[in-house]
Each structure stands twice: as structure tokens, then as C-alpha cells.
Amino acid sequence: MTIHREGYKSIGIGMLIFGAINLCMYYFFSASLMWLCNIVFVLTLGLLLFLISFFRIPNRKLTISENAVIAPADGKVVVIEETTDEEYFKGKRLQVSIFMSPANVHVNRNPLSGEVVYNQYHKGKYLVAWHPKSSTENERHSVVIRNGNTEVLVKQIAGALAKRIVNYLQVGQKVNQTEEMGFIKFGSRVDLLLPVGTKVNVQLNQAVQGGVTVIATL
């Protein structure tokens, strides 16, 4: 397991706060309230470890398949339905949405190889990530990857806690399946917009792993 580079600053700040709180507690209260100092130490250590785990990148055997769409994120499948996309395709698409809780791995990966033909950031609200309107009203970053005649839109969506979306891709860039495309801090959602008729290999409420689980077959 490694730590994602997006976490270096946050973890560093967390360690400084952890050290400052506990140094003050033990300096001022250890003589009379050692039990309180110990409780504060355990609680703040737990928060620090959670922060570190949020930015983890576990060692995995990633799935590479030319005819498959691989999960772009860890989480739970919360939507599988046809929808009308007004942003790029201007028509019907098959939407598969993955909800990412704060406990999930939050690195986002390319679901397929190809060329980036669209990349757009949208300001917006911070509705809870499972809200039906979060796909169109929340802060989000949309990317379309073209592979031959197939185009897949990947939408990183901010949630009630996620206040920062990071996307590393650029229009015209050639990308490889399962390589990093971005990161969303502190829980959110990722939507996939696929061609109508695409065979979906997952079910509602199924837990998926980014870079591993086959979401659909092209």
C-alpha cells in the first residue's frame, strides 16, 4: 500500500494538529486529568489514521480488457438506468453511478483506453452524492474518452463532504485503461455514461473496486 500524492499536504497538516493538541493536553492536564489526556490521544490518533487511510492506494492486480469498461472508482453501484445527457451526447445514454463513501479508496481510474475528446469542469452545488440531481447540479468534472467508435463519459461529482475534485486529463491526450485520471477528496460519486444497449455486468448495490471490476462489456 502507498499514499496518494494528493494526501501529502492534508496528512502533514493532520499530524501537526495531532501533535499540537496532545502536546498541550499532556503539558497542562497530565498531572490532574491523565485519563482525559489518554482519551483525547486515542480519539485524535483514530482521526489521524482515518485521514491517512483515506489517501491509501492498495496493491491490486488491475483488469485490462479491450472490450470492457472497468470501474473508475471504488464504491457501491447506486444507479443503473437510461438517461438523457444534455452536456455532451445530447441524447439517450445508459448511466451507471458509483457512490464513494469516505471509507473507500478515492483515486479515480480510466475505465477504458483511448483519446480524451472532451474535458469540462462545472461549478455547482454540494447535494448528497446519492441525490438524483447531483449528476447535473453538483460541482463536477466531465471527461469523454473515445475508443474507436465508442465514447464513454466519466463524471466526477462532488458530494456534501467532497469539496475538491482533481482531474489530470487533457483534451487530445492518449490514456490507458486503469491509469489514474483524478482524485476526489472526502466522499462523492462517479457516473459512467455508456452507449444504450451496452451489456452491464454489475447490479444495484454491488460493491465494486476501481481498476478491477468490469462494469460493462462493449
CB 145 within 8 Å of CB 172: no
Which stretches does DSSP call E strand in the chain? 2-3, 56-57, 68-70, 75-85, 91-100, 107-109, 114-122, 140-147, 150-158, 164-167, 174-175, 180-185, 188-194, 199-200, 207-208, 214-217
* Contact predicate 139/124, CB 8 Å: yes
Bridge-based pairing of strands 214-217 and 199-200 is antiparallel
Query: 141 has which bridge partners?
Result: 121, 156
Three-point CA angle 50, 71, 120, nearest 5°: 90
Annotated active-site positions, please? 188
- Measured distance CA(190)–CA(129) in Å, rounded: 9
User: Residue 209 has what DSSP assignment?
Assistant: -
Question: Which residues, 6 or more positions from 134, have their beta carbon under 8 angstroms from its beta carbon?
Answer: 125, 127, 128, 157, 159, 189
Are the C-beta atoms of residues 1 and 56 closer than 8 Å to each other? yes
